[in-house]
Every structure is written in C-alpha cells, then in structure tokens.
Amino acid sequence: MTRQEVSRSVLSGQVKDRLLQAILDGRYPPGARIVETRVARELGTSQAPVREALRDLEGLGVIETTAFRGARVRRPSTDELLEAFVVRAELESLGARLAIGRLTETDLDELGGYVAEMQGAADAGDVHREATADAAFHSRIVALAGNATLVRVWRTLEPFLRTYITIVAPGSDRRRIADRHEPVLDALRRRDPELVTVVLHRHFDEAARSLASHWPSPPEERSPDAVAGRPGLPGPLPELASAVTLDSPQAERTS
C-alpha cells in the first residue's frame, strides 16, 4: 500500500467516525440526506474520503445509497429493531455477568449517574440527552465486562439503540423508559448474576412492546438542512488540513 493510499484510508476512517457520531447524535436523523460535497466542506477535506466513508457506513447498515438520490440515513425496520433487542439482551446479559465480579462502588455510582441523567432528561423532554445517557449506561455495562470481543460485537448494534430512543421515545412515556434502568442497576448492586440476566431480558422485552405500540410511520424524506436546529458537523478535522492534496482532481467533482 502506498503512502497516498494509507493517508486516504486514515482520512476515510476519521470521516466515517465523525459521520457515525453525527448520525447517533441525531444531527442526521433517519431519512436525512448526507451530501458528499457538504460533508467534505464541513470537515475540510475532499470528496474521496467522504465517499469511502459512506461506503463503509452502508456496509454497517447505517445508511443506504440509491441511484439519483444519493446517501440517506436508514430507518431500521421494526423487525430489525426487534431482532436487535433479542441479540442485545443476550450480549448485555453476558456482559453484566462478566462485569459483576469486577464492579467497584465507583462503577456503580457512575451507572447510577447515567440513570439519574436519563430521568432528568426525560422530565425535561430532552430526548437527545436521554438517548446519550441511555447509550452510555448500556455501553458502560458491556465495557465493564473486560471483554474486547464482546464490546466490538455490541457496538455494531448501537445505532439501533439510538434509533429506538430518538424515534420511539417521543411517542411514549420517556420517564418510564428511563425508570426501566433502575431494576438493572439494582441487580448489579446486588451482584446477582441470575437476577441481572432476568432483569435485562425483561428490560428488552418491555422495550420491544413499547416499539410495537409506538413505532411511527416512515418520516417524510428531508435533507439535513430541513431538520430544524440541526447543527453542522463539528468543524474541520485538524488532521485534514492538507487532505485535498492527497486526492486527484477528479475526486473533487460532484458525483
């Protein structure tokens, strides 16, 4: 691999990470278009690494690309989300069981802080903050297992978690969604592996029922510009200052 190819690969990975975070944060909601030229301009790079990043995100099932319409954030189907709940229940139950022997009071206090953050955000009607705390709670449980393979597998399902919270939550009782995490925290405090397994499976069963009750019709197609209050990507990547020199002039043309 040449130096140019390595540099382009690094740039593509950075762009993918920024885009994925923007999608998970709700700056690009399901159905929103992702325009190569706009992303390239916001991140201070050329279109080639953006195009490669979009291909990678499509492979993860996060976006979809169609002829004459470009790239859009995918809206997972009900079946996909329900399937993700089944898998996450097993992965997080395993993570919790592995974590129990390693938990410290500091870890438990941190998890309790995420639950409190969810509840406060739910009371304030701040779905974005609630989704962030919810994802952090579940992610931390898996991370505390100390199993890198488990973490990697779990992360492939994170977009489904954020999608559920940000789309389903507005039509349901947000405080109730936040309070569902209390029994999980309590089982971890008791350091009871059997109880935490039962509680986590119940947690995801309830989420599945909520999904079935509140899953909305597909949103109208809209561009990122049409999403009220959506900020742009967080500015150029420092590492990309000279990115344009790495790509051929052809890469600058709009696809």
Whether 89 contacts 204, CB under 8 Å: yes
Whether 42 contacts 235, CB under 8 Å: yes
Instruction: Please tell me whether residue 147 adopts helix, strand or coil conformation.
Output: coil
pLDDT of 172 strictly over 90: no
Least confident of 74-88, 96-110, 137-151, 218-232: 218-232
Per-residue pLDDT at 215: 59
Per-residue pLDDT at 219: 45
pLDDT band at 149 (very low <50, low <70, confident <90, very high): very high
Strand ranges for 41-106 from DSSP E: 63-66, 70-73
DSSP code at position 240? G
pTM of this structure = 0.67
Q: What is the fold of 78-214?
A: Four Helix Bundle (Hemerythrin (Met), subunit A) (1.20.120)
CATH 3.30.9.80 fits 3-75+218-252, yes or no: no
Neighbours of 106 (CB within 10 A): 8
CA distance 73 to 58: 9
Q: Write out pLDDT tens, residues 14-25.
A: 888 888 878 877
C-alpha angle with apex 199: 196 to 203, nearest 5 degrees?
135
Structural domain boundaries of the chain? 3-75+218-252, 78-214
